[in-house]
Structure 1
C-alpha cells in the first residue's frame, strides 16, 4: 500500500515529504485515511532523538483521527466510512496479565508504538500519523463517538489520555482537590478533565500570566509557585497533583502542598528529576509516582466521557507544510494549547491509493 507523509531523516534535519509503503491488510487490520493529527511535544523529542531510541527516517504522529477506507476479512468492529481514532500504540502481546486486564500500555513484552517502533510480526518500522493513510490492528482502533468534533479530538489520544489515566487511577471525583503543575498542552487537558470529573482544581504556575486561561478552561484558581506566602498557605491543600512540566525541574517545593497520603504524578518529564528531600514525604506519607498513557478500554472511556461532557482541547489548526515552523514555536511554548494538522493539506503522489486496498 503506497502512501506518503512527512518524515525527518536525522536529529538535525527538518521534516520533508516522504513516500513509503504501509503493510498489506492482515485479516484483523483496519486501513484509514488520516483526517487530523495532533502535534505532541513527544513528537519533537523523538524527531530530535532526545531519548536515544528514535529510528530514522521517522514519520511522527500519535494523535490520529481518521476514516475507515478498508478492513481485513476478520474485522467485525468497524466498517468503511466509520470515524475512528488511533493513539500512541498499535499493538501488544495481548496475552500477558497486563494486556488481559486492559493495560496494554504496560504490556510485559512492551507495547508497539505508533511510530519509530518495530512491527511485532514483520519487524518493519512503524510510521505515524503525519501521513495520508494508516494501517492498524483492529483491537487498537478506537471509535469516535457521535458529536465529538473530529477537527479538535486528536489531542485526546495522547494529551487527553495521559492526564485522564492518573485522574481515574487515583479516583478523582466530586470533593477531590487536584493541583495541576503547568498550563500547556497536557496541563490544560488535566484541568478540563479534572473539572469534568467534579474536582476542585488549582493550576500551579510560576506567574499569574495564565490565570485568565486557567479559569476559562475550568480551574477554580491559580497558585503562583514563586510566591512563598501563597505556597505556605497552600500546604496540605491537595489530594493529587498532576505534574505536566516536560523538562527537568525541582519537585521539592510541591511536596508540602500534598495532604497526608497525597500523590504527585509525573506525566510530563521523561528523564532525570531534581534531587529530592524525603522529609515531607516521610512526615506526610506523601508519594511521588509517574504515569504513561492509559489502555485501550480507558482511552475509549475518555473519548465517550469527552463527548458526553463536551470536553475538547484548545487547538490551533495548521497545514502539514507548516510543521517545521510549528516545532520551532513548540520549543518556545508558543502554542495555545495544541497544534492539530489538517491532513487534507497533505497532497502528493498516489492520491487514489486508498481505492486499491482490498476491502472486506
Structure 2
C-alpha cells in the first residue's frame, strides 16, 4: 500500500511538472510573439534614421522653418513619415498567433502588450512638452483668440516639434541609433556651413544669403553672412555650435597618435565652421561660442587642455585671415579669387594642424616648438 501511494505521488508530481512546463512554454511563446524579428530591427532603424536625416536637411533648405509658409510642407512630410514608420512598426510587430479570429479579450491583451513594448522607450516623455503646447494653442484657437490664424500656425509648429521629438526618442532607444544622429548632424552642419562660405566667396549664388547694410553699428564690413537661414544671428549660433562640436572631435583626435587621414577627417570641417561664425558678425554668437570654448577648456582634464588649444590654433588663424579677405571685398569677391582664398586657407589649416599634431607626439623639444607656434 505504501509503495502504491508513493507511485501515485510520483505520477502526480510528474504531471504537475509537465503542467508547469507547459505554462512556462506558453508564456515564453507569448513573450516571443511580442518581440520583433531580427531582420526587422535593422530595417526599422534605417527607415527611422533616413526620415530624421531628411527632415533635418529639409529644415535647413527651407530657411530654418522661420516662416510659416515653410512649416506647412514640413509638417505634412513629418506626419506622413511618422505614419509610414508606425505602419511598418505594426507590420514588423509579431502578435501572438491564435487559431481563428481574435476576440475582444485577445485584442485587448494584444493592445496591452503593444503598449508595454512601446513604453519601453523611456525617452518618449520628452515629446509631451511640445505636444502639450500644441494642444494649448489648438484650444486657444478653438475658444476664440485675437489671431486664430496665428494660434493655428503655432499649433502646427509645436506639433512638428512633437513629431520630431517622438521620432528622435524612438531612434535614440534603438541599437545603432546614435550613428544616425551623427550622420544627420554632420550632413546638416556641413550643408549650412559650406553653402554659406561658398556664397561669401562668390562661388555659390545664394539669394538673400548675405545681408548688406550701410550702418557700421550693424556690420563693420557692410555685409553679414546669413547662409541658407537668411538670418545672420541664427546662422552664427548654428555655425558656433557646429564649430564647437568639431573642435571637440579634433581635440580628441589630436590627443592620440592617429594616421594623417583620420586626423584630417576630424579637422576638415573646423576651419569653414569658424569662418562662417566670423562672417556672420553675430556678436551674441561670438560671445556664446567663446564662453562655451572657455568652459570646455576649464572642464577638460589637465592632460587634454593643450590638445584642445593645438586643434584650435591653425584653423582659427586661417579662418580669421579668410574673414579679413572676404570682409574687405564686402562678401562679394570674384569667384576665382574667392575660391582660391578659401582653398588656400583650408589647406593651410589642415597642414598646420597636421604639423602641430606631429610635433606634439614627438620629443620634448618638438612639443615646445608646437606650443610656441600655437602662442604665435
Instruction: Settle same-fold status: TM greater than 0.5.
Output: no
Name whichever structure is richer in strand by fraction: 1
* Higher RCO, 1 vs 2 (CA within 8 Å, ≥6 residues apart): 1
- Category of TM-score, reference length = shorter chain: under 0.3
Name whichever structure is richer in helix by fraction: 2
In our comparison, the structure showing a higher alpha carbon Rg is 2
